Amino acid sequence: MIMFVGVGVGYYALAVFLRPLQEENGWSNAAVSGATGMYFSVSGITAAIFGPRIDRTGPIGLMLIGTVGMAAAIAAVGSVSELWHLYAAYAVLAVSFGMALGTGTSSIMSRWFVTRRAQAMSIAFIGPSLGGMVLVPLGTALISAGGLGLAGPGLALVALVVGIPFIVGVLIWDPQQVDAEVDFGRPLDVANTALGDDVQHRLWSRAEAVRTVAFWSLLVGFALVLCAQTGFIIHQLAFLEDRFGSASAASFALTVTAFGSIIARLVVGIFGDRINRRLLTVALFAVQGLSVLGVTLIDNTVLTWVLVLVIGFTIGNVYMMQTLLVSDVFGQVSFATIMGLIGVVTGIGTGFGPLIVGWVEDVTGSYRVPFFVTTAMTMLAAVVVSQARPPRPPAAAADAR
């Protein structure tokens, strides 16, 4: 539920607001996309700053503050009249998102689940997809009824009404706080060395992590794919609105994408604890790149629906696989510290995606060239992340020498 409102308001709403902000204020695609790009960069930096604190004391207090800030910022977007107003609102939104979500929710999941981590996360990560399925049509309907002045406060109210009760009354950071066991005492019989105590309870410093090949493979691979993926998602609504000639049809296509991500997450959750998650990630990247290329080149309504559904199959799992691979490689006790550090660069990369796509579309007058670029970035990311193998534990490395 936290990710439902957090990602629905703090991620998918950016796509809903993109075209209306241009039309209501006369701003260029690049100008509005620049604010979106700044948002992702700042949210990544925020997650890195608070990562070590989350590992020490938990994320609950930060999530409460961040949710309130996120609601205030998204409400303010409804009344912006100058470009700097938009950038200021998105900056507050970014800091709040980094506090409310960032690594906080994933840190909770990594502490509650080890051998059943993929299964648990596949269920929890339904939240972001539901955010896309429910809040995108809601935001579009609110804009049609009353413009940004209605949509901003309306989505802010949803964030507060849904988010605050769950943060205050339900969430518990660590199972030990309620005398519960990891995996609820029912571990899955999986021969995965990454899930052993020597990996999961190993304490990593930032300096130690950056000296590993796995760290750089995860950082560069996910920075590339999230730059490409977010560049496509943020502009998908505008791109398909031009193709279909209807804002409601384009909004429904984004809903189809979100629906696809739910189905794929649940499927991956069934077998994700039993397979090589690194190779699965490589396959997801490759399918996503080819699907974006297909939807760019093939101007056919039926195939467009099919391809945006396939893109949805990959999009939800990309974020989930980033969390799973980081926890597989660097364990649970240092998860927020390492995830936050990786999140700085992936956040900046994510931020450049909408900006690059928007700028190239302004220059060329078409989304074809920028989506070709995002396809190439996604395929390169598949090659890079294939090298993200867990480092040897210190004892094993010493024995090898």
**H helices present in 184-300, as ranges:** 197-200, 206-209, 213-244, 247-271, 277-297
Q: Does position 395 have pLDDT exceeding 70, yes or no?
A: no
CA nearest neighbour of 125 among 287, 271, 295, 267: 267
275 vs 96, residue with greater confidence: 96
254 vs 312, residue with greater confidence: 312
What average pLDDT does range 181-205 have in this prediction? 66
What token pair was written down for 62?
């930060």
349 burial (CB, 10 Å; 0-12 / 13-18 / 19+) is buried
pLDDT averaged over every residue in the chain: 84
pLDDT tens-place string over residues 343-387: 788 878 777 888 888 889 888 988 999 999 999 999 999 999 998
Domains of the chain: 2-175+193-391 (1.20.1250.20)
Q: What is the pTM of this model?
A: 0.70
What's the pLDDT score for residue 400?
42
pLDDT tens-place string over residues 254-280: 778 777 878 887 888 777 777 788 899
Q: Does position 305 have pLDDT exceeding 60, yes or no?
A: yes
What's the pLDDT score for residue 393?
63
Q: Does position 288 have pLDDT exceeding 90, yes or no?
A: yes
Query: d(Cα 21, Cα 28) in Å, to the nearest integer?
Result: 9
Q: How far is CA 155 from CA 10, 40, 301, in A?
A: 10, 19, 30
74 vs 37, residue with greater confidence: 74
Model confidence at 224, in pLDDT bands (50, 70, 90)?
very high
pLDDT above 70 as % of the chain? 94
Model confidence at 398, in pLDDT bands (50, 70, 90)?
very low
Tracing tokens 């974020």 back to the chain, one arrives at: 319
Tracing tokens 């080890």 back to the chain, one arrives at: 114
What's the pLDDT score for residue 353?
85
What's the pLDDT score for residue 369?
93
Q: Does position 191 have pLDDT exceeding 70, yes or no?
A: no
CA nearest neighbour of 130 among 305, 315, 309, 3: 3
